C-alpha cells in the first residue's frame, strides 16, 4: 500500500478474503455431508474469484485432500502454487493435453468416449494405469457419457479398465435446489442404475459423487441423493453461498459465511446542483442539491453496469446509492447522507456486513457465481484470517 502523511492508504479497490471463513465453511459442509463422505473442493475460476492458490493451501491445512478445477491450465496453476494433492479436471482434457496431465498426476473427469480412448492410449504409451473419474450424463444434457446409447459406452468403459484406474464415478444435478421438480430424483435413480451396472461388470470405483453445493445443503436428508455416495463436490458453498431452495422453506445459507469483502476508495468529492446530470449519457439528473463521491472502481474491475442507479455502497455506515452510469474505472455515489465523507475513505461494495453477492445478484437478476467470478484480476486480493491481515496478491 502507498504511504501518506496520515498512514497507509488503501489501494483504489481491493478484495479482502477471509480464509478462516472458507475453512469454517469447509468444516460445516463436511458435517452436512456426513462422516463417510469425502469432499472434493471445487476451486475452478480462481476459486470463484477468491484466489485458487491461497484458498487451496488453506483448505489443505484444514484437512481437504481432493480438489477440482475446470481445465488443465488451472490444475497446473495449483501445482505451481505448491498444492500437493490430487486435482480433478471436471471437464476432462482437450485432445493433446494427455501427456502433460499424466506427467502431473492429474485426474481427468472422462466426459466422452473420445476422452476415454485418448486417456487409455496415453496409459498404454506409458505402460501403466492412469487414474480418472467417469462422469455420466443423467439429465443435465451438458457433459458426460451418455446413457441412451445402450450398453456400448459401458462396454467401452469395461474394456478400458485394464489400463485406467477409475477412482470415481459421478454425475451432475441440473437443479437440486428445486423441490418443485422431480428431476433430481430421476437423475439420482439413473445414476444408481449406472453404478449397479458398472459393479456387475467388475468396475468398482472407490468414490461415487453427485452432490455439489446445493445438493449438499438442500438434499442432505434425501436418501435418493445420498445413496452409495462417498464423495461430494462443494464449490460455491465453500465461499459462503448456496442457491435458494425452490418449493420448500429452509435456511438459505445453512450457517455458511461469505468470505469476500470488496472495497473501493473515494478519489474525489463534488457538490452537484439540482438539475445537473451525472456521468456518461446523463442517465441520472440530480433531483436536489447533493454531494457525490467518486469511487475508484468500475466495470473493468467487475462492478456490473446493471447496478447503475440501483446499487449502493456503504460509506461510514451509511448506504450511498450509485448515481449515473458505471464507467470503466469509476463509479459515482450519492454521499449526501454520509456526514464527513472525505477523500480516501473506503466504501464497502460487497460484504457480509453490508450487501452480499446474493444481494447484488438479486438486483441484477443473476446468481452469486457471476458476481464473485466477475471481480477482475486487477483487483488485488488481500488475505486475512477472520480480520487478521496475512498477505496480499
Strands 260-272 and 13-18: antiparallel
Side-chain-side CA neighbours of residue 89 (13 Å): 29
Rounded-to-integer distance, Cα 279 and Cα 283, Å = 7
Per-residue pLDDT tens for 101-160?
999 999 999 999 999 999 999 999 999 999 999 999 999 999 999 877 556 677 888 889
Q: Tell me, what's the pLDDT at 3?
A: 43
Confidence of residue 254 (pLDDT cuts 50, 70, 90): confident
Answer yes or no: are the C-beta atoms of 77 and 52 closer than 8 Å: yes
Which residues are 110's β-sheet partners? 134
280 is catalytic: yes
Per-residue pLDDT tens for 199-215?
988 898 999 999 999 99
Per-residue pLDDT tens for 307-362?
999 999 999 999 999 999 999 999 999 999 999 999 999 999 999 988 999 999 99
Please identify which of the residues 26, 48, 239, 280 carries the catalytic annotation: 280
383 is catalytic: no
Confidence of residue 2 (pLDDT cuts 50, 70, 90): very low
Domain ranges of the chain: 2-13+258-392, 34-239
Give SS3 for 100: helix
When the candidates are 2.40.37.10, 3.40.30.10, 1.10.630.10, 1.10.274.30, the CATH number that belongs to 2-13+258-392 is: 2.40.37.10
Q: What is the mean pLDDT of residues 43-67?
A: 97
Handedness of CA 336, 371, 282, 267 (dihedral sign): positive
Q: Tell me, what's the pLDDT at 1?
A: 37
Please identify which of the residues 44, 173, 369, 383 carries the catalytic annotation: 44
List the CATH code of the domain at 34-239: 3.20.20.10
Helix axes 152-160, 113-126, angle to 10 degrees: 10
Answer yes or no: are the C-beta atoms of 147 and 194 closer than 8 Å: yes
Q: What is the mean pLDDT of residues 224-235?
A: 94
Q: Tell me, what's the pLDDT at 393?
A: 53
Handedness of CA 254, 257, 259, 265 (dihedral sign): positive
Q: Tell me, what's the pLDDT at 4?
A: 45
Confidence of residue 7 (pLDDT cuts 50, 70, 90): low
Q: Tell me, what's the pLDDT at 366?
A: 94
Rounded-to-integer distance, Cα 17 and Cα 372, Å = 11
Rounded-to-integer distance, Cα 76 and Cα 385, Å = 26
Q: Which DSSP symbol is given to 307? A: G
pTM here? 0.93
Answer yes or no: are the C-beta atoms of 66 and 86 closer than 8 Å: yes
Rounded-to-integer distance, Cα 186 and Cα 197, Å = 17
Domains 2-13+258-392 and 34-239 in one fold: no
Amino acid at each position: 500500500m502507498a504511504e501518506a502523511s496520515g498512514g497507509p492508504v488503501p489501494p483504489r479497490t481491493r478484495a479482502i478474503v477471509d480464509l478462516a471463513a472458507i475453512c469454517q465453511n469447509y468444516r460445516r459442509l463436511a458435517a452436512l455431508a456426513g462422516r463417510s463422505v469425502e469432499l472434493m473442493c471445487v476451486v475452478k475460476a480462481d476459486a470463484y474469484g477468491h484466489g485458487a492458490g491461497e484458498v487451496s493451501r488453506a483448505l489443505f491445512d484444514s484437512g481437504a485432500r481432493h480438489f477440482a478445477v475446470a481445465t488443465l491450465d488451472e490444475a497446473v496453476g495449483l501445482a505451481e502454487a505448491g498444492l500437493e494433492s490430487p486435482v480433478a479436471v471436471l471437464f476432462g482434457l482437450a485432445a493433446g493435453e494427455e501427456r502433460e496431465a499424466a506427467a502431473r498426476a492429474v485426474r481427468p473427469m472422462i466426459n466422452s468416449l473420445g476422452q476415454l480412448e485418448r486417456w487409455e492410449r496415453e496409459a498404454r504409451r506409458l505402460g501403466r494405469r492412469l487414474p480418472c473419474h467417469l462422469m455420466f450424463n443423467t439429465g443435465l444434457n451438458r457433459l458426460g457419457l451418455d446413457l441412451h446409447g445402450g450398453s456400448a459406452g459401458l462396454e467401452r468403459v469395461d474394456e478400458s479398465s485394464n489400463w485406467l484406474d477409475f477412482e470415481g464415478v459421478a454425475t451432475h444435478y441440473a437443479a437440486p435446489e428445486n423441490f418443485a421438480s422431480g428431476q433430481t430424483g430421476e437423475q439420482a435413480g439413473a445414476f444408481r442404475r449406472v453404478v449397479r451396472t458398472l459393479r456387475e461388470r467388475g468396475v468398482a470405483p472407490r468414490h461415487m459423487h453427485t452432490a455439489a453445493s446445493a445438493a449438499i445443503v438442500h438434499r442432505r436428508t434425501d436418501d435418493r441423493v445420498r445413496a452409495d455416495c462417498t464423495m461430494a463436490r462443494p464449490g460455491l458453498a465453500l465461499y459462503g453461498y448456496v442457491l435458494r431452495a425452490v418449493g420448500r422453506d429452509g435456511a438459505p445459507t445453512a450457517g455458511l459465511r461469505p468470505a469476500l469483502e470488496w472495497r473501493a476508495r473515494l478519489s474525489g468529492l463534488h457538490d452537484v446542483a439540482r438539475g445537473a446530470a451525472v456521468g456518461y449519457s446523463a442517465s441520472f439528473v440530480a433531483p436536489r442539491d447533493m454531494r457525490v463521491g467518486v469511487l475508484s472502481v468500475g466495470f473493468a474491475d467487475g462492478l456490473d453496469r446493471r447496478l447503475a442507479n440501483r446499487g449502493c455502497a456503504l460509506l461510514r455506515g451509511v448506504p450511498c446509492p450509485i448515481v449515473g452510469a458505471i464507467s470503466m474505472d469509476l463509479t459515482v455515489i450519492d454521499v449526501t447522507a454520509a456526514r464527513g465523507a472525505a477523500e480516501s475513505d473506503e466504501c464497502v461494495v460487497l460484504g457480509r456486513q453490508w450487501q452480499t453477492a446474493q444481494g447484488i445478484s438479486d438486483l441484477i437478476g443473476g446468481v452469486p457465481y457471476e458476481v464473485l467470478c466477475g471481480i477482475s484480476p486487477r483487483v488485488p486480493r488481500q488475505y486475512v484470517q477472520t480480520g487478521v491481515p496475512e498477505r496480499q496478491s
